[in-house]
Structure 1
């Protein structure tokens, strides 16, 4: 009931304000489990995709969003629960990875839709990065559910980093045909199979999105960009105007 109310209010508002266009809605099954594997350009991806679908889509989110204290924390938790986000505890030996896989399989075993971002994090520059094989492929093989590739288009342009007010423009969503990986059943422990499944899905996402593909992980790219920015900042701070800091030795 909460999800329905939130979907009506948030989803309706998003569709009214941004008018997202959609291609391939017929590829979403009317019932039964399916994995929606999408590129990740913006925080808003997890809101635009459910807004255009008739069925509930469950994504995973940091447990901190659900456990923060105070009134703000309770409102935040209610919001994320209302839009279909599932908390995942990042603590413990196994960390978020195993918890996310188990949560995804549980959602799919219930016959629902599960949304996942194979890149693991948002793209730092709008390009498509290498998918992580430990999540998507293991959820697919562990659940037996089909994988539906999804491409979010231009969502990163709506609210770029540093911008508070979103830009009113039409983002797009392309939904591809379901991919069946049942031929790999029972091979969850084979890292080459996991890599093959992930690469096949990423290739389909690339075709749908038209993004340039970069064969490195987005987390590594973000780390490199941060290091470059830090080095540039340090260099700029160290570059003083000529003659600064030197005492005037000329007499008056």
Structure 2
């Protein structure tokens, strides 16, 4: 895709955690630009710094050194109130564990961020129903989370993430607790929403199915950005999402330890 306006800019970000008497450097000087409307996947093994970088972009943690800009606002300089305002209106969050409130209906979960933003109840309800329809749950709006499948709960979480028309959706392992088929549906839904609404989607993930819908993939290794690849540059062949490959699934692992193509 063509580069447009930069919506996220990470400059020289380092993050050090104190563990007992030892300082652990989770990020070691990360630079990254994300463009408006992009679908970005941040990938890397556990302990690579992937989730820490995700938290920096989302304003969920602050860097030890460096700066993070959202729409050219340095979020590390914001006070707690300003940061909460920005997160509520600029960023929608989707978590692996859904994080929807069990005692509230699907509709109530979706309208909650609108209430925090000051929208009146009638308008919030109408918009909440429209968002649930967008994710295919208009007939389930009165159901509580325990009455919904995992995939449906994640769809509620996606609708909630869109509540205040954010410029950015941050998805942390959004398919991590879903089966293969449901995970594919959620991935497609996020891509569709990105295209239709021009929303920037940034996902921290282990799920290689994400590669098929990503405009760019940011590979993180040992606290640094190892490389950034465009979709057509990826050197991993994983097949198209939704295609069944039974013969490949039944084959034993490659004797060289490589990934079957």
TM more than 0.5? no
- The structure that has the greater radius of gyration is 1
Hey, which of these two has a bigger chunk of helix by percent?
A: 1
TM score, norm. by length of structure 1: 0.37
